[in-house]
Amino acid sequence: MACKDGSKVTQVIATPGQGPDRPQEVSYTDTKVIGNGSFGVVYQARLVDTSEMVAIKRVLQDKRFKNRELQIMRRLDHCNIVKLKFFFYTSGDKVCLDLVCGYCFIKPQNLLLDPNSGVLKLCDFGSAKHLVRGEPNVSYICSRYYRAPELIFGATDYTTMIGILATIYIDFYVYL
């Protein structure tokens, strides 16, 4: 299928990020790679129905690792966190998360700033986990340069303060 301007349109059956699990047809076009990381590739696209620009994160589901990003993104609703609009599965056990773009991975690359509105949003919850007191966690988490000292020394019992420290590191990074 193609748009009036001849650009390729991709159609998928996707489930809304929030609300009822009623799959619907979603069409997007103008797809281009805008970033990649250890666990996936991020594409920019435009929704055909609304002309809204979105990001599509394609994540390879490795059965050796637990990917909580989808379940966490479905629960999050905050003006400074990207919204999960839809998600869909493709062949090869990949999950694609469709995020509107204008937690243990707090780093400058995961902060999105809209230059027109000045709104800052946090994205990339691929390493996020709901912390439970007394339940052990992995210590090799977070980006190297933004890692809290307790993680460097192998702590497995930590709190959300590791994210606060990462934010402080980013403040220094921005002001230097």
Binding-site residues for ATP: 57
Residue whose structure tokens are 């994540």: 59
Are the C-beta atoms of residues 80 and 122 closer than 8 Å to each other? yes
List, as residue ranges, the binding site. Answer: 57
H/E stretch holding 70 reads helix 69-75
Are the C-beta atoms of residues 170 and 146 closer than 8 Å to each other? yes
DSSP SS3 for 89:
strand
Q: Which residues pair with 26 in a beta bridge?
A: 12
